[in-house]
Structure formats: C-alpha cells, structure tokens
Amino acid sequence: MTKFISLLFCVAFLAFTITACGPDQTPTEPPPTVPAEPGETLVETSAPPTPEPTTEAPPPTAAPVLEPLPPEPQEIEFQAADGQALLGVYYPAAVNPAPMVVLHHWAPGDQRDWIEIAYWLQNRGLGGQTDPAAPWLDSSWFPPIPPEWEEQSFGVFTFTFRGCEGGCSSFEPDGWLQDAQAAMETARGLEGVNPQRIVAVGASIGADGGPDGCFWLNQQYENSCLGGFSFSPGSYLKVPYADAVDALGAEQPPKPGWCLFAVEDTAAAEACQSATGDHYRVVQYEGQMHGMDLINPDVEPNALLLLLEFIALSMGL
C-alpha cells in the first residue's frame, strides 16, 4: 500500500511539473466591442497616422523692377545678312521691358519721316515739331495715347533701307528684304525691349518690309512679332503681300495684318485686296494717296487712330 501511494504521488507531481513548465496556452481575449445601436453600422477604426512634419514653402520672390532707359534717342549701327551696314534709331520706352514698334519707311524718304510718330508712340514728352507741308511730321494733330492702356509708352525702332538716305536712289528689293529682316532682329535684341511683344509698321516699300520681316522673325524666334500694319504695300520686295499676311494669319496664335490703301493707287489696291482671312482687315480711301500721304488730319478714318487700334489688338491692350 505504501508503495502504491508513493507511486501515485510521483505521477501527480510529474503532471504538475509538465503543466507548470509548458507554454502558456491561455487564449488572448479580443478587445471589447461596443454594440451598435439599431440601424447603425459598426466601423472599425484605428489610431490616426502620425502626420509627417511639413516645411512651409518660402514666399515667391518678386520680379526685379527694372529702371527704364533715358528717353533720348540712340543711334544704332547694325548689319544685314549680306554684310550691308545700316543705321537705325532707338527711342526707349518709359517702361522696362517694353513693347516694341518697328517703323519701316517709304521709298521717297528715309527713317526721319517717322520721327514725330516715333516720339508720339514713345510718349515721353519729346518731339513736338510742326511741319504742315508733311502732316506726318506735325504732331499737333496726333491723337493722344489712350490713358486706360496698361502700358502707355512703347519702344520704337526706325532705320533707313540701303541706298535710301534722303530718299531711295535705286530699286533694291532683294537687299531691302534683308534690311527689314535685320531691323526686326536688331530691335528684338535692344536693351529694355520685351522680345515677345513686337509689331511691324511700314509705308510703301516698308509696308511690305514690315509683314515680311515680321513673319521671318517668327521663323527665328517663335511668336516674337505680333502683327503687321501696312500703308500702301505693293509686293515691292518680291514677296507677294498676300503670302506674307496669310502666313502670319496661319501662325498659332494667328497674327493680324491690316492694310490701308487708296483706290486710285493701283499697286496698293491690288496688294491689299489680294489677301483675306479672319485676322486680316482692309481700309479703303478715295483718291490716289500713297504711303505716308494717308497720315493726314483731313483723311477719314484717321490713320493714326487705326494704328493705335491695331497695336491694342495685336498686344492685347
């Protein structure tokens, strides 16, 4: 009996030892769940993620304000592609960088025919001469620059075509085309000029040189020239006027072309009426006035008011 009790004790002790030393098999109870109210869906939530530290972006740096150049005209020497030396005059604007107007003269004269119109567009208080014999040199009747325009001053660049000092002594269409192209590129690179806001204006041979040079410039520098305004073109530079204007209108965005002519000025009438398009406008006058003769206080509609309207349209003013 004693042996049986001893054996029973050993078995019980051994079972206790195995149970006490084995792995803990007690199941982990799930966290208590709050019962949903009738009609309510329980949504299991978790702790929100720890937000990442943020660094505030520095405030944008204001664009530097550039001082305008002095208003006095500057003589500019430049060259055409064939090496021909040319002379131009730059009339700096009262803003910097400024929109630019490039003025191409007619065959009976040179860049000096534009001097008062250049001062008028520059709008810095210079000029003011009176010459009734040449209305384009008599600023007393010029319309004012609209005060509501955001920019009331334009840079202006004039130049003289080769062989045309005091009036063109010979007819050089191939060279004049190169001169117009060089003038547009030179104007684009002048100090104080916005190179993406340029318009071309011209009379007679310059009425062709303007849109010809404008389109050429946009082939070199996309969307630099915003349009061409012509007083009496005649396809004088061996480029059909309609081709130049149509090419500008086909650009993206389209560039406007405006043409002024008198019905008895045959070459100009044919040129102006040869072009079409949504961005093209023709203004017809009676008589045989040509080129700068259209810039006259007695001629209606006023050519300089039309020029201002064109500039506003082209530059989005």
Q: Which 8-state DSSP code applies to residue 200?
A: E
Three-state secondary structure call for residue 186? helix
Going through the chain in order, the beta strands assigned E by DSSP cover 74-79, 85-91, 98-104, 155-159, 193-203, 225-231, 257-262, 280-285
28: which 2 tokens?
Answer: 């982990």
pLDDT tens digits for the chain (317 residues)?
333 334 333 333 333 333 333 444 444 444 444 444 444 433 344 444 554 544 454 554 544 668 999 999 999 999 999 999 999 999 999 999 999 999 999 999 999 999 999 999 999 999 988 887 899 999 999 999 988 887 789 999 999 999 999 999 999 999 999 999 999 999 999 999 999 999 999 999 999 999 999 999 999 999 999 999 999 999 999 999 999 999 999 999 999 999 999 999 999 999 999 999 999 999 999 999 999 999 999 999 999 999 999 999 999 98
Cα dihedral across residues 273, 276, 282, 284: positive or negative: positive
Domain map of the chain by residue range? 74-315
Q: Report the distance separating Cα 182 and Cα 179, nearest Å.
A: 5
Cα dihedral across residues 211, 269, 256, 304: positive or negative: positive
Q: CA dist 136 to 39, 96, 197, Å? A: 88, 27, 25
Greatest extent of the chain over all pairs of C-alpha atoms, in Å:
154
241 and 230 Cβ atoms separated by less than 8 Å = yes
Q: For 218-233, how does the pLDDT look when each residue is reduced to its tens digit (9 = 90+)? A: 999 999 999 999 999 9
Q: Which CATH superfamily is domain 74-315 in?
A: Alpha/Beta hydrolase fold, catalytic domain (3.40.50.1820)
Integer-rounded Cα Rg, in Å, for the chain is 40
Q: Report the distance separating Cα 150 and Cα 312, nearest Å.
A: 10
Report the amino acid identity of residue 165.
E
What's the predicted TM-score (pTM) here?
0.80
Q: For 153-190, how does the pLDDT look when each residue is reduced to its tens digit (9 = 90+)? A: 999 999 999 999 999 999 999 999 999 999 999 999 99
Q: Report the distance separating Cα 189 and Cα 309, nearest Å.
A: 26
Q: Rounded to the nearest 5°, which phi and psi values hold at 286?
A: -80, 160
